[in-house]
Amino acid sequence: MFDSVSAQEEELDKAVDNDFVMVNLAEEIETKGKELLELTMRGDYDSISKVIEELQETLSKIEEIISSREAFLKVT
């Protein structure tokens, strides 16, 4: 029984860690969005492509975390 509780606590800790990462990624998206707006207003189109690629990478990370979170919720 204690092993089961310990395993559940570990899974819960992972979920909380994932939530913390999601908050950080959301902040990163906000920052990149503001940067993208500034670059657009300046007409710095070369840099816009770089920021868009960075946003795509961040969104991919979020999708991975959501998928792992869904798997966790199905198990519990």
Reduced to 3 DSSP states, what percent helix, strand and coil does the chain have, rounded to the nearest 5? 95, 0, 5
Q: How many CA within 13 A on the CB side of residue 60? A: 6
Segment 17-46, tens digit of pLDDT:
888 999 999 999 999 999 999 999 999 999
Q: What is the mean pLDDT of the chain?
A: 87
pLDDT at residue number 47: 96
Look at residue 74 and give its three-state secondary structure.
helix
Look up the domain containing 61 and give its range.
Answer: 2-75
| Token duo for residue 19 | 């939530």
Q: Cβ distance 46 to 6 under 8 Å?
A: no
> How many structural domains are present in the chain?
1
**pTM for the full predicted model:** 0.74
